[in-house]
């Protein structure tokens, strides 16, 4: 397959434009966050040279540290979850619930699904720029990273689909500049029947039908009423409204998105970042760029331990640029960054609209935790929240996949309280042929429940191999 070439100076300009747009939008919309009415914002109300701190940008500074510390392939949900616990103190909504669940022993995506009324909310899609900038022109790589990110605090819910959409649009925006095509690329990476896609569809149809943006906004709000306020489907649709009705004008687009109300710092910041990628630093309105300046102010990260964090958008751009070649190489992207002129001819939209990678993400079980034991990949699917009741059978599905070119026997052993029953057996042997996978359903019946939680282990042993896998188990007593 032909390789797409992006000029190094051009991509630097676009990444810088992304972060400038992010800061501009976050500062423009920040003072109105949570307003439920249609607004009439006309510009900044904050002092010049003082961009508002915004968790939308803050968390991405931590994700950059993950990439620098562990490399692009080291970005997993488990790793991101651990960095949450160390570097991101706020207990807000899904952030706090996810951290609480992790501390209790629930790994991602369970941490994002268990008792989380905010799993359809906005915390994930507002931080997708880092993945897009690391994998420019490669939306399938961007959504792999976005899934690992979103699953920590949104599991497999609408908040996760929202980040797949924004990450894909922003990554593709480095090589595709047509608005309608970019939105189609984003929609190709999420299920057509999800609520995010439905709300975006209302925005698109309203615009095509000649409705005003206010009328379109009302339709979106009414359709999302059952989800409640501050949720991803409506707010992502507000981003699209600003983009569609803004007619290509950066300032007009951000003002419309802000004036839709709701999570205004997020909608304006995400749209600002997306347009910043398209326009580059040089294409942004210079009066707004100069008004805010280049500094980064933070509110949601622990500066006491995050020592090497960039303090300006220029530094952030440079540090991201340093990681781009490695990320593109790690995910085998057909994109090259060099000093030659950019060539987008080998990035036709149909190439970026492929949904194979996206469908594999959608197929991941919402309550399933993946473990890679080198020779074997294991997914433990709880199927639902891990709440148990006395003598009530609980079904668990174990999927084992051969990742090496040999045949082997896998021994599964359940280490649970002695008086619990496990069917078909506490010890099971599974034969795996080359490139083979198996799925086995077990039934666990708890007895004599007196504690609030119960821990256990599923041992995964490959006969003749030194690596033994230990899958942690946590069950929560629903009767306490």
* pLDDT, the chain, mean: 96
What is the percent of the chain with per-residue pLDDT over 70, rounded to a whole number?
99
Domain 4-356 identical in fold to domain 368-477:
no
CA dist., res. 254 & res. 387, Å (int): 44
Q: Domain residues of the chain, as ranges?
A: 4-356, 368-477
**418-466: pLDDT as tens digits:** 999 999 999 999 999 877 899 999 999 999 999 999 999 999 999 999 9
**127-155: pLDDT as tens digits:** 999 999 999 999 999 999 999 999 999 99
Q: What distances in angstroms separate CA 355 from CA 75, 179, 213, one per listed residue?
A: 22, 19, 30
Superfamily grouping for domain 4-356: ADP-ribosylation/Crystallin J1 (1.10.4080.10)
State the sign of the Cα–Cα–Cα–Cα dihedral 288, 258, 33, 65.
Answer: negative
Range in 258-267, 278-287, 354-363, 434-443 with the lowest mean pLDDT: 434-443
What is the reported pTM? 0.98
Are 72 and 134 contacting, i.e. CB atoms less than 8 angstroms apart?
Answer: yes
| End-to-end CA gap in the chain | 58
Residue 407, number of CB atoms within 10 A of its CB: 11
pLDDT for 433 equals: 87
pLDDT for 312 equals: 98
Range in 118-127, 200-209, 254-263, 303-312 with the lowest mean pLDDT: 303-312
pLDDT for 347 equals: 72
pLDDT band at 1, cuts 50/70/90? low
According to CATH, what is the number of the domain 368-477? Answer: 2.60.40.10
How does 138-176 read in b/e, with b if 16+ C-beta sit within 10 Å? bbbbbbbbbbbbbbbbbbbbbbbbbbbbbbbbbbbbbbb
pLDDT for 350 equals: 82
**Four-CA torsion 221, 222, 224, 227, nearest 10 degrees:** 110
pLDDT for 349 equals: 80
pLDDT band at 303, cuts 50/70/90? confident
């Amino acid at each position: 397959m032909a390789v797409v070439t992006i000029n190094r100076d051009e991509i630097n300009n676009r990444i810088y434009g992304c972060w400038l747009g992010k800061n501009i939008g976050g500062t423009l919309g920040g003072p109105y966050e949570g307003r439920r009415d249609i607004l009439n914002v006309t510009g900044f109300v904050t002092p010049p040279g003082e961009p508002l701190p915004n968790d939308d940008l803050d968390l991405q500074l931590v994700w950059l540290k993950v990439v620098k510390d562990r490399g692009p392939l080291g970005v997993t949900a488990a790793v991101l979850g651990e960095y949450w616990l160390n570097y991101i103190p706020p207990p807000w909504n899904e952030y706090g619930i996810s951290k609480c669940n992790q501390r209790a022993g629930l790994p991602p995506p369970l941490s994002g699904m268990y008792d989380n009324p905010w799993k359809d909310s906005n915390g994930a899609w507002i931080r997708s720029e880092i993945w897009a900038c690391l994998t420019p022109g490669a939306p399938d790589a961007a959504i792999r990273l976005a899934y690992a990110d979103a699953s920590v605090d949104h599991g497999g819910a609408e908040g996760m689909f929202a980040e797949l959409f924004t990450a894909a649009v922003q990554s593709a925006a480095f090589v595709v500049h047509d608005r309608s095509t970019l939105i189609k690329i984003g929609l190709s990476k999420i299920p057509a029947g999800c609520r995010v896609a439905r709300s975006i569809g209302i925005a698109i149809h309203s615009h095509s039908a000649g409705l005003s943006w206010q009328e379109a906004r009302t339709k979106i709000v009414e359709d999302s009423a059952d989800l409640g306020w501050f949720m991803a489907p409506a707010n992502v649709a507000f981003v699209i409204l600003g983009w569609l009705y803004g007619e290509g004008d950066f300032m007009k687009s951000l003002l419309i998105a802000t004036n839709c109300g709701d999570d205004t710092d997020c909608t304006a910041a995400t749209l600002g970042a997306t347009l910043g990628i398209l326009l580059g630093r040089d294409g942004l309105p210079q009066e707004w760029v100069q008004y805010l300046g280049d500094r980064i102010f933070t509110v949601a990260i622990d500066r006491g331990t995050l020592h090497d964090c960039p303090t300006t958008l220029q530094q952030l751009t440079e540090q991201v640029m340093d990681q781009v070649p490695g990320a593109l190489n790690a995910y085998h992207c057909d994109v090259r960054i060099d000093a030659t002129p950019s060539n987008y001819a080998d990035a036709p939209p149909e190439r970026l609209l492929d949904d194979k990678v996206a469908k594999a993400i959608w197929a991941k079980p919402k309550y399933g935790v993946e473990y890679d034991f080198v020779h074997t990949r294991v997914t433990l699917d709880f199927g639902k929240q891990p709440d148990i009741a006395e003598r009530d059978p609980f079904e668990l599905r174990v999927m084992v996949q051969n990742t090496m070119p040999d045949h082997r026997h896998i021994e599964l052993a359940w280490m649970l309280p002695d008086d619990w029953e496990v069917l078909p057996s506490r010890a099971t042997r599974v034969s795996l042929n080359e490139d083979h996978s198996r799925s086995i359903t077990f039934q666990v019946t708890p007895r004599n429940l007196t504690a609030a939680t119960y821990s256990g282990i599923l041992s995964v042993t490959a006969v003749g191999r030194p690596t033994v896998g230990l899958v942690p188990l946590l069950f929560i007593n629903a009767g306490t």
